[in-house]
């Protein structure tokens, strides 16, 4: 199938539909950076530029016409001028292009705010225009988070089919969703939730109780022999005064008043572990029940060490609690203070379903600016949603052609 794309951006439609064997006839994009992305990935597909000049475009056989006209005039975050905004009027230009090329299928996308713009009259203008052109249509709000990407992104999708509304509805609505029968409710249970139970193989004496306070496998549980531990959360953190080493030689790991030795690095036994991030070997120079993540040699730990060897300071503090290594003088703290980390361009590409570095189009050795990448990705459609719509169109179109040939 051949498709024409307008307001193409960085072409989520092509990324989604080329794997189906579909062919891009032409694009229409005017923003400089997206145009460079299109030229980089699809050098053989013409970019026709400004969609308002469609009358100058060449003739072409088009099976599918797709576009997400600018949403700013309809968004609840904007001024909501609707069709009074030139960008909103591109909705009507979309209809004019559909009239010229007369494809069997149409796909149009926008923000949910279009449904209430001008009390629904703007969206009604689109649907009324489709009807005048002879297209049957269906529309639905789809959320990208249900199509395999980690973001909530709700968008209105309109699918049109020339001469009949039923194929369009079959694309956007699965058969079971049209029957009106709600899914049966689950039977209520009185047992504990699954997240608080554990199998005896993980050391739980009671199968309905989670064994989360030991770093060792229970005897006879089937776990590894020796001091290897499971992925358990160990004793909680207790902040208290340093206690004499002599009081810790008993190996019990806590004081007479019940508090744990958590800020003393000189102890040779029984330092209580705060949180175990790893299920690896325990430190042979400390108590056998101490998890390896507490050792100062472990780069992931905020260490409470045993005081043996180079990883303890002369003042009794653990090496990883200092900002600089006393031997190498190298910085040891990766983060000082608090900060909010913004998403990287690659992470934004993944959130929209694009391949990694899809928008990184500069020659090797030169960095592509982040700003244009963020903007282009934010304006794009979610690739997995477009892929789902494409597969549904392909399936329904095959059925339509079979019925027409009978």
CATH number of the domain to which 65 belongs:
3.40.50.150
For residues 30 and 168, membership in a common domain is answered with: yes
Say if CB 268 and CB 248 are below 8 A apart. Answer: yes
Give a yes or no: residue 363 inside a domain. Answer: yes
What is the arithmetic mean of pLDDT over 392-398? Answer: 96
Q: Which CB contacts under 8 angstroms, 24+ apart, belong to 52-61?
A: 52/90, 52/93, 54/28, 54/93, 54/96, 54/97, 54/100, 55/100, 57/26, 60/2, 60/4, 60/25, 60/26, 60/101, 61/2, 61/25
For residues 222 and 127, membership in a common domain is answered with: no
What is the arithmetic mean of pLDDT over 57-85? Answer: 69
Give a yes or no: residue 346 inside a domain. Answer: no
Give a yes or no: residue 206 inside a domain. Answer: yes
Question: Using 50, 70 and 90 to split pLDDT, how confident is the model at 217?
Answer: very low
Domain final residue, candidates 339, 366, 382: 339
pLDDT above 70 for 115? yes
Give a yes or no: residue 255 inside a domain. Answer: yes
Q: Are β-strands 105-110 and 23-28 bridged in parallel, bridged antiparallel, or unpaired?
A: unpaired
Question: Which of 7, 140, 122 lies closest to 75 in space, CA to CA?
Answer: 122
For residues 42 and 133, membership in a common domain is answered with: yes
For residues 156 and 285, membership in a common domain is answered with: no
User: What pTM does this model have?
Assistant: 0.61
Q: Which residue has the higher pLDDT, 108 or 317?
A: 108
Give the burial string for 309-327 (b: 16+ CB within 10 Å, else e): eebbbeeebbbbbeeeeee
Give a yes or no: residue 349 inside a domain. Answer: no
Q: What CA–CA distance (Å, rounded) separates 369 from 377?
A: 13
For residues 17 and 67, membership in a common domain is answered with: yes
What is the arithmetic mean of pLDDT over 39-45? Answer: 97
Give a yes or no: residue 395 inside a domain. Answer: yes
For residues 288 and 161, membership in a common domain is answered with: no
What is the arithmetic mean of pLDDT over 39-51? Answer: 96
Give the bridge partners for 23, in sequence order.
2
Question: Using 50, 70 and 90 to split pLDDT, how confident is the model at 370?
Answer: very high
Q: Which residue has the higher pLDDT, 42 or 335?
A: 42
For residues 276 and 301, membership in a common domain is answered with: yes
**Tens digit of each residue's pLDDT (9 = 90 or more) over 300-314:** 444 333 344 444 445
Average pLDDT, the chain: 73
| Collapsed DSSP state (helix, strand, coil) of residue 114 | helix
Q: Which residue has the higher pLDDT, 231 or 13?
A: 13
Q: How far is residue 145 CA from its own chain's centroid?
A: 8
* Residue 328 confidence (pLDDT): 58
Q: What angle do CA 311, 314, 316 make, to 5 degrees?
A: 80
* Residue 274 confidence (pLDDT): 46
* Residue 383 confidence (pLDDT): 97
Q: How far is residue 354 CA from its own chain's centroid?
A: 11
What is the arithmetic mean of pLDDT over 27-55? Answer: 96
* Residue 7 confidence (pLDDT): 92
For residues 64 and 130, membership in a common domain is answered with: yes
Question: Using 50, 70 and 90 to split pLDDT, how confident is the model at 88?
Answer: low
Q: Which residue has the higher pLDDT, 293 or 131?
A: 131
Determine what percent of the chain is predicted with pLDDT higher than 90.
45
For residues 202 and 172, membership in a common domain is answered with: no
Question: Using 50, 70 and 90 to split pLDDT, how confident is the model at 367?
Answer: confident
For residues 332 and 374, membership in a common domain is answered with: no
Question: Of 36-40, 87-91, 93-97, which range is least confident?
Answer: 87-91
Question: Using 50, 70 and 90 to split pLDDT, how confident is the model at 183?
Answer: low
Residue 389 belongs to what domain range? 2-178+355-404
Domain final residue, candidates 315, 339, 363: 339
Domain final residue, candidates 299, 315, 339: 339
pLDDT above 50 for 271? no
Give a yes or no: residue 187 inside a domain. Answer: no
* Residue 119 confidence (pLDDT): 82
* Residue 284 confidence (pLDDT): 43
For residues 311 and 211, membership in a common domain is answered with: yes
Give a yes or no: residue 387 inside a domain. Answer: yes
Question: Using 50, 70 and 90 to split pLDDT, how confident is the model at 117?
Answer: confident
* Residue 281 confidence (pLDDT): 43
* Residue 151 confidence (pLDDT): 93
Domain tally for the chain?
Answer: 2
pLDDT above 90 for 103? yes
Q: What CA–CA distance (Å, rounded) separates 140 from 12?
A: 19
pLDDT above 80 for 18? yes
For residues 252 and 204, membership in a common domain is answered with: yes
Catalytic residues: 71
């Amino acid at each position: 199938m051949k498709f024409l794309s307008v307001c193409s951006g960085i072409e989520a439609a092509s990324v989604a539909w080329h794997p189906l064997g579909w062919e891009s006839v032409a694009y229409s994009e005017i923003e400089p950076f997206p145009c460079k992305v299109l030229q980089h990935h699809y050098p053989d597909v013409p970019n026709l530029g400004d969609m308002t000049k469609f009358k100058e475009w060449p003739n072409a056989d088009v099976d599918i016409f797709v576009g997400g006209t600018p949403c700013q005039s309809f968004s609840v975050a904007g001024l909501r001028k609707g069709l009074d905004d030139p960008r909103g009027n591109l909705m009507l230009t979309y209809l004019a292009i559909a009239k010229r090329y007369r494809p069997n299928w149409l796909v149009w996308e926008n923000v949910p705010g279009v449904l209430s713009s001008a009390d629904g009259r703007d969206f009604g203008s689109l649907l009324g225009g489709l009807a005048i052109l002879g297209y049957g249509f269906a529309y639905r709000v789809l959320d990208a988070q249900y199509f395999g990407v980690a973001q909530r992104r709700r968008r209105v999708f309109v699918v049109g089919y020339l001469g009949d509304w039923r194929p369009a509805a079959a694309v956007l609505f699965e058969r079971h969703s049209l029957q009106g029968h709600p899914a049966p409710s689950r039977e209520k249970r009185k047992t504990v939730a699954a997240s608080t139970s554990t199998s005896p193989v993980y050391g739980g004496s009671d199968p309905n109780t989670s064994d989360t306070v030991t770093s060792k496998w229970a005897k006879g549980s089937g776990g590894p022999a020796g001091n290897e531990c499971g992925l358990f959360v160990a004793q909680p953190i207790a902040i208290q005064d340093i206690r004499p080493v002599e009081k810790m030689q008993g190996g019990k790991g806590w004081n007479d008043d019940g508090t744990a030795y958590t800020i003393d690095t000189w102890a040779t036994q029984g330092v209580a572990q705060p949180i175990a991030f790893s299920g690896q070997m325990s430190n042979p120079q400390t108590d056998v029940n101490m998890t390896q993540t507490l050792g100062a040699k472990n780069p992931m730990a905020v260490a409470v060490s045993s005081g043996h060897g180079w990883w303890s300071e002369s003042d009794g503090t653990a090496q990883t609690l200092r900002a600089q290594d006393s031997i190498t003088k190298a910085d040891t703290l990766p983060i000082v203070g608090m900060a909010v980390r913004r998403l990287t361009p690659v992470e934004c590409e993944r959130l929209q379903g694009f391949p990694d570095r899809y928008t990184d189009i500069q020659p090797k050795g030169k960095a592509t600016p982040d700003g244009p990448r963020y903007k282009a990705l934010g304006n794009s459609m979610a690739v997995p949603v477009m892929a789902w719509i494409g597969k549904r169109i392909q399936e329904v179109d095959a059925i339509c052609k079979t019925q027409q040939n009978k």
